[in-house]
Amino acid sequence: MVKKSGSAPLNFTQSHALFRRAAAVIPGGIYGHTAPAATVPGAVPYFAAEGFGCRYRDVDGNTFIDLMGGYGPIVLGYHHPEVEAAADAARARGAAFNHPTALLVELAEALTARIDFADWAVFGKNGADLTNWAIMVAREVTGRPKILKIAGAYHGTQAWCTPGHGGLLPEDRAHIHEFAFNDVAGLEALFARHRGAVAGLILTPFHHPAYDDSVLPTPEFVAAANRLCREHGALLILDDVRCGFRLSTDGSHTVYGYTPDLAVYCKALANGHPLSACVGRAEHQAAASRVFLTGSYWNDPAPMAAALATLTIIARDNIPQKLAATGQRLVDGWLALGKKHGIPLIASGPPAMPYVRVADDPSLLRTQHLCAAAVAEGVFIHPHHNGFISAAMTAADVDETLERLDRALAKLAAGGQVAQTSSLPGSPSDAGAKQTGSLRYLRKPPVPLPCA
């Protein structure tokens, strides 16, 4: 249980019971970026039950204002009526046919009409499906092996980029070369060192690593990335999975000035329905057709119908502008509350995707305390990962969120800390969790852990 200021403790009995059942039949109990040990074990819910607008309810009946949005997919709010009506209408006609439906073509046409450099589109289910395919396309186009990437950037779970450690071989990353974000000299050095061998440069619009502040690109870095790819005949691959359609209605490259050859979208594409997309230029379409891509469920019409509805709403209602304004008001209020309570806070990243943490907190332990206190007050935040503002969040919701964060910061200022978690289900040392190969860190780990 977690003590809620001025009210009864939150009850996580069902979450913990479900986790112990899960640990008996699922490796790690809950794996990947949603594993309890990636947050604050014992202080947060482990299982959700339902969502509505900018809130969700866990299996114990606790309701939270959600500042994570399912780690990004919920851009319009849970159970958006227009999106769900479109998905339901498509689902009523069937799923996973022998062939794609007309929605495949309609969605490809919609993306190529919206994104200025896009002449074609393909679809998968997760961002990792298509970031992996994109580097294969770059290799097919150029006949070269090497891929350059940002150190600490997350591009999915494939062997060449996973933040995990199990099941890997040295050969998996023999042709993957890393450099620091915004390091123009480092990027130039890699292109020079591997002259004639670089197939592509893959990067996110801004750097959003887990366990660290977000970093916006400098104009010099964007210009260098564009120039070096042109000069060396390499493809610029923009991993717009996390940012796409949140920062701009037509892709994040227009926000920062990138000129990509390929771009991958996913999280905000279909408001929670499983779908990803990769778009590219006409000169690479033939090569793309030679790189095999398929999945039994990838032509399912319901997510494509949801995506068409979501994209329409994002453009019609200028959702990126709303997210930026709502996020800015929330972040400004949050930082002011930190100052009020004598707890300096740092915010990084765009307001639509903010990461707020306690200043001078290299272990992130105090940030974990803040997360636990916020959750106890009914606001779900993450101590190590950027947040995602929902378009369903109203001015009244922002006011309520700040009131709850005010109480959380007051508790932290009074010396509130996370309860000892070593014996709780989902903690790194919990024997019942069987997390022998899973997440093991409560404090900032020496290597990156799975994010999304």
Long-range contacts of range 284-289, CB-CB < 8 Å, 24 or more positions apart? Answer: 284/137, 284/141, 284/235, 285/119, 285/120, 287/137, 287/140, 287/141, 288/120, 288/122, 288/137, 288/140
Task: Identify any residues that bridge with 376 across adjacent strands, giving them in sequence order.
Answer: none
All residue ranges of the chain with pLDDT < 70 are 1-8, 416-424, 426-451
Whether residue 206 contacts residue 444, with contact meaning beta carbons closer than 8 Å, is answered with no
A 10 A CB-CB count for 260 gives 29
Residue 9: what pLDDT?
Answer: 74
pTM: 0.92
Question: Which CATH class for the 81-316 domain?
Answer: alpha beta
- Report which secondary-structure segment, H or E, holds 237: strand 235-239
Domain 13-74+318-433: CATH superfamily, name plus number: Aspartate Aminotransferase, domain 1 (3.90.1150.10)
Q: Is 419 helix (H, G, I), strand (E, B) or coil?
A: coil
pLDDT 10s digits, 91-143: 999 999 999 999 999 999 999 999 999 999 999 999 999 999 999 999 999 99
The DSSP code for 247 is: S
Q: Measure the CA angle with vertex 367, ends 6 and 7; round to 5°.
A: 10
CA distance 118 to 286: 14
- What's the chain's average pLDDT? 92
Distances (CA, A) of 212 to 22, 207, 304: 30, 10, 34
Residue 1: what pLDDT?
Answer: 40
Q: Which residues contact 249 (CB under 8 A, 6 or more apart)?
A: 114, 314, 315, 318, 319, 320
Question: Looking at the chain, which residues constitute the CATH 3.90.1150.10 domain(s)?
Answer: 13-74+318-433
The DSSP code for 80 is: -
- Report which secondary-structure segment, H or E, holds 277: strand 276-280
DSSP labels for 331-371? HHHHHHHHHHTT--EEEES-TTS-EEEESS-TT-HHHHHHH
Closest CA to 43 of 402, 405, 401, 382: 382
The amino acid present at 16, given as its one-letter code, is: H
Question: Looking at the chain, which residues constitute the CATH 3.40.640.10 domain(s)?
Answer: 81-316
Closest CA to 266 of 132, 446, 167: 132
Residue 8: what pLDDT?
Answer: 60
Residue 375: what pLDDT?
Answer: 97
CA distance 155 to 127: 8
